[in-house]
Each structure stands twice: as structure tokens, then as C-alpha cells.
Amino acid sequence: MKLDGKTMVAVVMMVGSLAAAGCNAASAQDSGPVAPEETVATAPIDNGSANSGVEKDERVFHYYAPHAPPAARFEVRGVAPSARHFWAPGYYRWNGREHVWMGGRWELGRDGFQFIAPHWENVFGRWEYFPGRWVRL
């Protein structure tokens, strides 16, 4: 079979567009949502017992990883910028394929609150990510 120039260009364009589109199927390693990057400034405030009852429209997201994160890295803290600063430790974030280290840093504290750092826990055989939050003292 002999192809003319127009047919050849059309075939090449179709193959090229298919290659550029890529594969949309989820890989075997993809395990759902990606854990967000945490900062002290965006961490929610957990009022504990101060908030009685149930918030009707509260959304809670659970983030899981297929395996445990590596051991936490050693970080050199240095000196705090002021007496009001505290060390927010580094943590591993799940990016959908692997654990990625997010380094610790000095952050400004809030009066009357304590910061609980992001961490991972083994819950019923699955590694669940718990985002950082502020807890009233």
C-alpha cells in the first residue's frame, strides 16, 4: 500500500497527539489524595471541649500511605529568632508516590495555644497522616 503525503502527515499527527496525551490510568502505586503541605499559619485551631456538639458541615480528609514513612531526619535548629518563637519540627509528606521530607523551621507562637506537629500513625494496619493543629491550653 502506497501512502501519499497528506495521509502520512495525518497518521503522524494522530500518533503524536496520542503520545502527547499520555496515559490517564492510575498507577499501582497511586494511593489516593496527596497530603497537603502544612504550615503553622494554616493549621486549624482545635478547641477541644470548648466546642460542644457536632459541626454539621465539617469536612474531614484522611490521607493514607501504603507504607510507613522513614525515620525523622535530624535537623540543626540553631538559635530561636526571639523568645516568642518555637521549633515546628519537620515531617514526611506523602506526594502520591513517595514520602517527601518537609524541613522544620522556627515559627511564631500563639498565646494560649500549643502546636501539635503533623505526624503519621498506624491505624488498623494503614498509615494515616494527621495534619498539624493548634490546641488551646
What does the pLDDT look like over 96-119, one tens digit per residue? 899 999 999 999 999 999 999 999
Q: Record the cell numbers describing residue 27, joined without a space.
A: 498507577
**Per-residue pLDDT at 50 exceeds 50:** no
Question: Which of the listed ranges 39-48, 100-109, 123-132 does the model predict with the highest average pLDDT?
Answer: 100-109
| Dihedrals phi, psi of 134, to nearest 5 degrees | -100, 135
Question: What per-residue confidence (pLDDT) applies to 72?
Answer: 93
Task: Report the first-to-last Cα separation within the chain, whole angstroms.
Answer: 81
Sequence-ordered strand ranges (E) for 18-88: 45-46, 63-65, 85-88
3 compared with 91, residue with greater pLDDT: 91
pTM above 0.85, yes or no: no
Question: What per-residue confidence (pLDDT) applies to 2?
Answer: 64
Looking at every residue in the chain, the average pLDDT score rounds to 78
